Chain A
């Protein structure tokens, strides 16, 4: 369960300039639900996910993971989170098994637990053939699976996926799609960001449209389409954010814009 309340994040960009990356964003993602943050590059998706994952501290507002406040109990929050992004890499000189076990150990699991869980994940993901090969020597698809195994090693109830399919070919991206579907089936709460409308439409139970740091609309795909009065998500995005009439517009200038402090 992810509950986000009025979350804001402001970066200091030097020389007294501030960049508002997130402005009073609120949404909820329930167990067994896939929630998609949809928005173009620079909308604030990565910032939002990093704040929720406790990598960045929020400037204002709050969020809770399974009822635990991200600012007050970051350690407990991290134990419940699995985080994966398209830019996440592997330690090339470690084997797939060592890689996954290292993270399992850092999540506080005992050696025996880690070994058992690794074997389980490798079997489920079809990784047994390359479990003891160095990550350097793996194909993109194999690396993707190692990343997924790493994300799931501590069996987190909440998954945060930052543009997980960006830059992946269709076959490799399928592994991610399966991951999302399986986690939903297991009752996990999955929050993921994407700029791919079709992917969002295909995978998400509910969607939040993020643009310039603000959440413009929220709901199921059907609800959003109905609200925008269109049958295409892309068109709905443009209408709901007012992006079609850019750069004018009273709303457009508020977020993700450099303002004097």
Chain B
């Protein structure tokens, strides 16, 4: 092989490719842009979407209000606007001891360390309202917003049942989620024993159980329709005896009717559940205080974990997959252009008739494709590192460690991997008669690359001596371990050797392929 001819072919192909805007797109722009695009834009968009849904008050219709404690109802009616909620909460505090359920909203988070998350606000402190107005407003601003709306009752059966026998209609057992169906009830509803229906009004005798059952069906159907049509996000039902049970300290029951398929309905459900959970903690706390116990007994055990090893490296998650994919797609376009492109343009024949040997032509073209794949992979790693280092990861408390040694090992492993891709793609490309044909051949190959690369993202899928011999998969797994810092030298050597061997076979096969008349001059 004459290196002069290889260099001539290489130089011409580089010039040709650099002048092509499409290559620039796939080889340079895509690998650079895809990470920031994916991570930043997509992340921002979803965050913004969720935040918007969280900030918009969820519309909740109430049923069984007569069984709800007045402060809880009032609280619900003040949750539409954070300022209003703050003022109302501050007024409650200023007016002496608020209802324990309301006080629960002002308690610090359960998982927060005492003394760390700001002074606990609530009845224990017993301070004046003015002192606490600041933190209360601050906390109110973070409240999740709800708006109470009316449920339009259209079914006459349901209207009659609501008017004549609400206690029976809204019996928690009867409204329990259907077996096998999606849970529509709050987590507190089903688990606890039915409370004595102490405050229930006497049921109207003329409503038969069958009629009540139908009314309940109508209720669910109307709630579903109202949610689907966008008039409501959820229905909150206070069951008979709620207020008394809450006073007693246990057994208060509610049900939320939701449509899990609707995001806004799921969010409403989450907000309601969070609200009741906090309120319930307030009630428990008040009970403990009343019984003369320290509220800290709620947390008899407190554990903590401290990582003494290396930090979990976020790069290990993304990098192997992306590097492999980018390397492949970076090599794809030049490979097609250098093989099938020559056939399509009608330049291959004249090229083959020059005194340059086939091996020299293949070598020059192969090196260009190899370089394209490696360049795409390198740009991708650089872009990934910069994106993650730009504060995005830090802001989320995700560890990002860019280690020079890992980068060197990555390059070392990617060279033979890119060589396999380049040789295979070039072989496919020169066999195809046109660009389009080459692209259709490359699709299945693309899958063969994506699938093993994808395996590297599955937790617990680890290298062993057999997997170390599976092309592509071995490299992705090795890259993952390189970036988590757990790779073993022996395994790495085995993977490098096997990948280099596959690359050598692929290159030789590609060169032999280039000598076949039936490949070069396909009818």
Contact = CB atoms under 8 A, between A and B. Distances in A.
Nearest to A75: B355
Interface stretch (B233-241, B283-291, B342-350): B342-350
Nearest to A92: B345
Given A54-B353, A78-B353, A106-B356, A93 B346 contact: no
Interface in B485-523: 517-518, 520-521
Interface of A: 12, 50, 53-57, 75-76, 78-79, 81, 83-85, 87-94, 98, 102-103, 105-108, 150
Contacts of B353: 53-55, 78, 81, 83
A57 B517 CA distance: 8
A84 B518 CA distance: 21
A79 B355 contact: yes
Interface of B: 5, 8-9, 12, 15-16, 19-20, 344-347, 349-357, 517-518, 520-521
Greatest chain A CB density within 10 A among B20, B355, B517, B520 is at: B355
B346 A89 contact: yes
Dominant secondary structure at the B interface: helix
Contacts of A150: 350
A56 B517 CA distance: 6
A83 B20 CA distance: 28
10 contacts: A55-B349, A55-B517, A55-B520, A75-B355, A78-B354, A88-B350, A90-B347, A93-B19, A94-B15, A106-B354
A197 B12 CA distance: 40
A102 B12 CA distance: 7
A89 B347 contact: yes
A209 B20 CA distance: 45
Given A78-B354, A108-B355, 18 more contacts: A55-B521, A75-B357, A83-B349, A85-B349, A89-B346, A90-B347, A91-B345, A91-B347, A93-B19, A93-B20, A94-B15, A102-B8, A102-B12, A103-B354, A105-B8, A106-B9, A106-B354, A150-B350
For the complex of A and B, list the 4 residue pairs with the smallest distance between their C-beta atoms, beginning with the closest: A89-B346, A89-B345, A106-B354, A93-B19
Contacts of A90: 345, 347
A91 B16 contact: yes
Contacts of A106: 5, 8-9, 351, 354-356
Contacts of A87: 346, 349
Nearest to B344: A89
A64 B160 CA distance: 108
Contacts of A98: 12, 15
A93 B349 contact: no
Given A56-B521, A75-B355, A78-B354, A94 B346 contact: no
Nearest to A86: B346
Nearest to A84: B350
Nearest to A14: B518
Greatest chain B CB density within 10 A among A56, A85, A89, A150 is at: A89
B432 to A, nearest CB: 16
A22 to B, nearest CB: 14
A111 to B, nearest CB: 10
A98 B521 CA distance: 26
A141 to B, nearest CB: 17
Nearest to B5: A106
A54 B521 CA distance: 13
B349 A88 contact: yes
B342 to A, nearest CB: 9
A53 B521 CA distance: 14
Given A81-B353, A106-B355, A94 B521 contact: no
A50 B346 contact: no
B249 to A, nearest CB: 81
B271 to A, nearest CB: 59
B521 A50 contact: yes
Contacts of B356: 106
Contacts of A84: 350
Nearest to A13: B523
Given A53-B353, A57-B517, A94-B12, A88 B347 contact: yes
A83 B355 contact: no
B522 to A, nearest CB: 11
A55 B16 contact: no
A83 B350 contact: yes
Nearest to A76: B355
Nearest to B12: A102
Contacts of B518: 12
A54 B349 CA distance: 10
Contact of B16 (A53, A56, A81, A94): A94
A84 B350 CA distance: 8
Contacts of A102: 8, 12
Contacts of A53: 353
Nearest to B517: A56
B292 to A, nearest CB: 87
Contacts of B15: 93-94, 98
A78 B354 CA distance: 6
A103 to B, nearest CB: 6
A150 B349 CA distance: 13
Contacts of B344: 89
Contact of A107 (B346, B355, B520): B355
Given A50-B521, A94-B15, A98-B15, A78 B346 contact: no
A197 B356 CA distance: 36
Nearest to B20: A93
Contacts of B354: 78, 103, 106-107
A84 B347 CA distance: 10
Contacts of A55: 349, 352-353, 517, 520-521
Nearest to B364: A106
B14 to A, nearest CB: 11
A83 B520 CA distance: 17
Contacts of B16: 91, 93-94
A78 B355 contact: yes
Contacts of A79: 355
A103 B348 CA distance: 12
B195 to A, nearest CB: 81
A54 to B, nearest CB: 7
Contacts of B352: 55
Contacts of B521: 50, 55-56
Greatest chain A CB density within 10 A among B16, B350, B517 is at: B350
Contacts of A54: 353
Nearest to B337: A93
Nearest to A81: B353
Contacts of B357: 75
Greatest chain A CB density within 10 A among B20, B345, B520 is at: B345
Contacts of A108: 355
Contacts of A81: 353
A103 B357 CA distance: 13
A92 B357 CA distance: 24
